[in-house]
Amino acid sequence: MRNKENNRSSTDINKIRLAQLSKGLAHPVRVEIIRMLEKKPPEARCVCGDIVNALPLAQSSVSQHLKTLKETGWIQGEIDGPRVCYCLIDGVIAEYTSLMNRTISDK
């Protein structure tokens, strides 16, 4: 017997992925973090402390936002000794834009 996952169309899967990525952008601070990371050169990483220093929030609040961005597929974190370095997942902005365009145009 097939489960519901197997019966999902590619359109449904795209909508689910779009919703997941949109959840990551559902707070202005997370949008700002994405903007900050996008401005970095591809080889540069952004240390959590640098992000905290750039935002008017406590470290714990920034960490929660970073966790949400990681869980929703926007960023990846790499442990580098005592620090965590974050970067955007390659192609995620293009993927989001494409999903949004396809969903809106229903293609």
Domains of the chain as residue ranges with CATH: 9-105 (1.10.10.10)
pTM of the model: 0.84
Cα 12 from chain centroid? 20
**Does residue 76 have a pLDDT over 70?**
yes
Asked if residues 107 and 71 have their Cβ atoms less than 8 Å apart, the reply is: no
Q: pLDDT tens digits for 5-43?
A: 555 787 889 899 999 999 999 999 999 999 999 988 767
pLDDT at 6: 56
